[in-house]
Structure 1
Amino acid sequence: MIRKRTNDRSNSRHQPSSLWRKCTNFRALKQIHAFMVINGFNSNTPALRELIFASAIAITNTIEYAHQLFTHIAQPDTFMWNTMVRGSAQSFKPKNAIALYREMDNRGVKPDSFTFPFLLKACTKLCWINMGFGIHGRVLKFGFGSNTFVRNTLISFHANCGDLNIASALFDVSERTDVVPWSALTAGYARRGKLDIARHLFDEMPMKDLFSWNVMITGYAKQGEMESARKLFNEVPKRDVVTWNAMIAGYVLCGSHKRALELFEEMSTAGERPDEVTMLSLLSACADLGDLDNGKKMHCKILELGSRELSKLLGNALIDMYAKCGSIERALEVFKGMRDKDATTWNSVVGGLAFHGHAKESIDLFTEMQRTKVCPNEITFVGVLVACSHAGKVEEGHRYFDLMRDKYKVEPNIRHYGCMVDMLGRAGLLNEAFEFIHSMEIEPNAIVWRTLLGACRIHGNVELARRANEQLLKMRRDQSGDYVLLSNIYASQGEWDGVQQVRKLMDDNGVRKEAGHSLVDADNKALMHYLFESKPKLKSRNQIASASNR
Structure 2
Amino acid sequence: MGELLIARNLFENMPERNVVSYNSIIASYCRNDLGVEAWKFFSQMMASGLKPTQFTFGSLLSLSSLDLHQGYQSYTLILKLGLLYVDAFSGTALLGLFQRHGRLDEALKLFDDIPRRNIVTWNSLISAFSQCGFVEDSMFLFRELLRSEIRPSESSFVGILSGFGWEPDFELGEQIHGLVIKSGNLFYPSVANSVVNMYAKCSHPCLAEKMFEDVPSRDVISWNVIIGVLLRSEKPKKALELFLTMLLEGYLPNQTTFVGAIISCASLQIPTYGKLIHGKVIKINFNSDAFVGTTLIDLYAKCSTLEEAHLCFDEIYGKKLVSWNALISGYSSKYSRISVYLVREMLHLGYRPNEFSFSAVLKSSLVLEMLQFHSLIIRMGYFHNEYVLSSLITSYGTNGLVSEALRFATELTLHLPVVASNVIAGIFNRTGQYQETQKLLSCIEEPDNVSWNILISACARNGDYMDVFDLFKSMQMSKTLPDKYTFMSLLSICSKLNSLALGSAVHGFVIKNEVRCCDVFVCNVLIDMYSKCGSFGDAVKVFNEMKERNLISWTALISALGLHGYAHEALKRFREMELLGFKPDKVAFIAVLSACRHGGLVEEGMELFRCMKQMYSVEPEMDHYECIVDLLSRYGHLQEAGLLISSMPFQPNVIIWRSFLAGCNRFSNTKEQVVG
- Within a 5 Å distance, the mapping from 1:351-500 to structure 2 comes to 351-461=559-669, 463=671
1:234-261 superposed Cα distances (whole Å, 9 cap, x missing partner)? 1112111111111112233444333323
**1:164 maps onto 2:367 in alignment:** yes
**1:267 maps onto 2:475 in alignment:** yes
Partners in 2 of 1:314 and 1:245 — Cα distance?
15
Taking a change above 3 Å as real, the CA distance of residues 315 and 33 of structure 1, as seen in their structure-2 partners, is closer
Shift of 1:362: 1.9
Give the unaligned 5+ runs of structure 1: 35-50, 472-550
DSSP-derived class of the 2:428 partner: helix
Shift of 1:134: 3.5
Partners in 2 of 1:53 and 1:285 — Cα distance?
41
DSSP-derived class of the 1:444 partner: coil
Shift of 1:129: 2.6
1:168-206 superposed Cα distances (whole Å, 9 cap, x missing partner)? 223224256841244432232134443212211222122
Q: Is the 8 A contact 1:355 1:387 kept in 2?
A: yes
Shift of 1:338: 1.6
Partners in 1 of 2:505 and 2:555 — Cα distance?
24
Q: Is the 8 A contact 2:293 2:313 kept in 1?
A: no
Partners in 1 of 2:287 and 2:669 — Cα distance?
80
1:477-517 superposed Cα distances (whole Å, 9 cap, x missing partner)? xxxxxxxxxxxxxxxxxxxxxxxxxxxxxxxxxxxxxxxxx
The residue type equivalent to 2:220 in the other structure is K
Give the unaligned 5+ runs of structure 2: 1-19, 32-54, 65-95, 97-123, 125-154, 163-192, 198-211, 213-217, 225-253, 267-273
**1:237 maps onto 2:445 in alignment:** yes
The residue type equivalent to 1:400 in the other structure is L
| Alignment-derived partner of residue 530 in structure 1 | none
The residue type equivalent to 1:160 in the other structure is K
Shift of 1:29: 7.3
The residue type equivalent to 1:30 in the other structure is V
- Within a 5 Å distance, the mapping from 1:168-179 to structure 2 comes to 168-173=371-376, 174-175=378-379, 178-179=383-384
Cα RMSD, aligned residues only: 4.4
Partner residue of 1:330 out of 524, 538, 550: 538
Partner residue of 1:30 out of 220, 235, 250: 220
| Alignment-derived partner of residue 198 in structure 1 | 405
Q: Is the 8 A contact 2:491 2:503 kept in 1?
A: yes
Partners in 1 of 2:661 and 2:287 — Cα distance?
73
Partner residue of 2:424 out of 194, 206, 216: 216
Q: Is the 8 A contact 2:397 2:405 kept in 1?
A: yes
Shift of 1:335: 1.2
| Alignment-derived partner of residue 344 in structure 1 | 552
| Alignment-derived partner of residue 306 in structure 1 | 514
| Alignment-derived partner of residue 93 in structure 2 | none
DSSP-derived class of the 1:160 partner: coil
Q: Is the 8 A contact 2:527 2:543 kept in 1?
A: yes
Shift of 1:293: 1.6
Q: Is the 8 A contact 1:85 1:118 kept in 2?
A: no
- Within a 5 Å distance, the mapping from 1:108-123 to structure 2 comes to 109-111=317-319, 116-117=324-325, 119-121=327-329, 123=331
Partners in 2 of 1:100 and 1:401 — Cα distance?
38
What is the percent sequence identity of the aligned residues?
Answer: 24
The residue type equivalent to 2:601 in the other structure is K
Moved more, 22-31 or 321-330: 22-31
Q: Is the 8 A contact 2:459 2:465 kept in 1?
A: yes
Q: Is the 8 A contact 2:294 2:313 kept in 1?
A: no
Taking a change above 3 Å as real, the CA distance of residues 110 and 167 of structure 1, as seen in their structure-2 partners, is farther
Partners in 2 of 1:215 and 1:159 — Cα distance?
14
| Alignment-derived partner of residue 524 in structure 2 | 316
Number of residue pairs matched by the alignment? 435
Taking a change above 3 Å as real, the CA distance of residues 193 and 253 of structure 1, as seen in their structure-2 partners, is farther
- Within a 5 Å distance, the mapping from 1:496-535 to structure 2 comes to none
Taking a change above 3 Å as real, the CA distance of residues 295 and 171 of structure 1, as seen in their structure-2 partners, is same
DSSP-derived class of the 2:362 partner: helix
| Alignment-derived partner of residue 502 in structure 2 | 294
The residue type equivalent to 1:335 in the other structure is F
Partner residue of 2:314 out of 100, 105, 110: 105
Partners in 2 of 1:430 and 1:97 — Cα distance?
51
Q: Is the 8 A contact 1:156 1:188 kept in 2?
A: no
Taking a change above 3 Å as real, the CA distance of residues 73 and 352 of structure 1, as seen in their structure-2 partners, is closer
Shift of 1:273: 0.5
